[in-house]
Amino acid sequence: MQSLAFGHVFRADSPLVLVTPHSGSRIPGELLDNASWAAIEGRMADPAGLALEALAEKRGITTIGARYHPCVIDFNVATESRPLSLRLSRSGLCRTHTSRGEPLYDDSHPPSEREVEARVDHYWRPFHAAVAAEIARLRGLHANVLLLVSHASYWLSPYRNQSGALDCNIGSNRGRSCDRRLVSALTDTVGEHGRSWVVNGKVADVFAAQHYGVPGEGVHAVEMEIAGRWRSALEYEREQQEGAEATATLGALLDALENALVRLPTAPAADATTSASTSPRAPATPAHADRLPK
């Protein structure tokens, strides 16, 4: 496993790549002088992402994960996603409030554009450079690759309504980011294990699926947020070291996706000479190798 400024990369040869943009819980030293930030040091945002990382690495699946809490920098938000007001960003690239609505900055000292750009350059761009590099490497080995993104975008919002939350929220950029058979493999497995699900609901248009998924060229992307009772069960299993059913279902999801992936029709061969140059601020092009954000 390679440790990097943004987090880690574990390289393997499965056609499945697991990306966990919200698995981090650390806070950079320069922010810890603020008591508000110190209070969330170690706070878990995506228990499913953490469980999936461990399961994936045992199965020989590449993982790319975050070190820092998503309130510091959100790797699943586009760089142009800025707040309407510098004093309030509860869902953008660098949040000013926690998922509980707690302010992270004094009203008179929100993060400046310079601070945001520094985090983008130091963390966000290298993270996505690693994602693009692994897609290109594995597409050279396989007819199809799948980027599975486990995140907690809805949970991170202070405005979320937890009552009646479904267990598994799946996003495929409204059907454009992956072959539908991969989504069916997910929903069938979730249903077989007694969990509820929805496709392209609250997480239909999240960044990674929009930016990376080019199924016609053998690069598929699916976003997944585990919520509701399933999230609660994963938190319990992790904290109490008791039970394993909720975690085992995640393992079954990985197995189902790998099996479905190898049965997909062969996509055109990857063009190894294509340069990775597309900016995430521009619309995605149909060249899967052009996924490297600037």
Phi, psi angles (nearest 5°) of residue 275: -85, 145
Q: Provide the pLDDT confidence category of residue 81 given band limits of 50, 70 and 90.
A: low
CA distance readout (Å), 91 to 110, 153, 206: 14, 8, 12
131/108 Cα distance (integer angstroms): 36
pTM attached to this predicted model: 0.88
Quote the pLDDT of residue 88.
44
**Beta strand 62-66 with 168-171: parallel, antiparallel or unpaired?**
unpaired
Residue 108 has pLDDT above 70, yes or no: no
Query: Do 70 and 24 form a contact (C-beta atoms < 8 A)?
Result: yes
Quote the pLDDT of residue 91.
53
SS3 string of 225-251? Answer: EECHHHHHHHHHHHHHCCCCHHHHHHH
Q: Would you kindly state where each structural domain of the chain is located, as residue ranges?
A: 2-262
Place of tokens 């409204």: 174
221/174 Cα distance (integer angstroms): 12
SS3 string of the chain? Answer: CEECCCEEEECCCCCEEEEECCCCCECCHHHCCCHHHHCCCCCCCCHHHHHHHHHHHHCCCEEEEECECCCCCCCCCCCCCCCCECCECCCCCCCCECCCCCECCCCCCCCCHHHHHHHHHHHHHHHHHHHHHHHHHHHCCCCCEEEEEECCHHHHCCCCCCCCCCCEEEECCCCCCCCHHHHHHHHHHHHHCCCCEEECCCCCCCHHHHHHCEHHHCEEEEEEEECHHHHHHHHHHHHHCCCCHHHHHHHHHHHHHHHHHHCCCCCCCCCCCCCCCCCCCCCCCCCCCCCCCC
Lookup: tokens for 43: 């706070």
177/38 Cα distance (integer angstroms): 38
pLDDT for 170-215, tens place per residue?
Answer: 999 999 999 999 999 999 999 999 999 999 987 777 899 999 999 9
Quote the pLDDT of residue 270.
55
Task: For the domain covering 2-262, report its CATH number.
Answer: 3.40.630.40
Q: How far is CA 194 from the centre of its chain?
A: 24
Query: Average pLDDT, whole number, for the chain?
Result: 86
Residue 165 has pLDDT above 60, yes or no: yes
Highest mean pLDDT among 13-27, 67-81, 158-172: 13-27
Task: Give every CB contact of residue 135 below 8 A, 6+ residues apart in sequence.
Answer: 17, 145, 147, 212, 219, 288, 289, 291
CA angle 68, 275, 128 (to 5 degrees): 10
**Mean predicted confidence (pLDDT) in 74-103:** 72
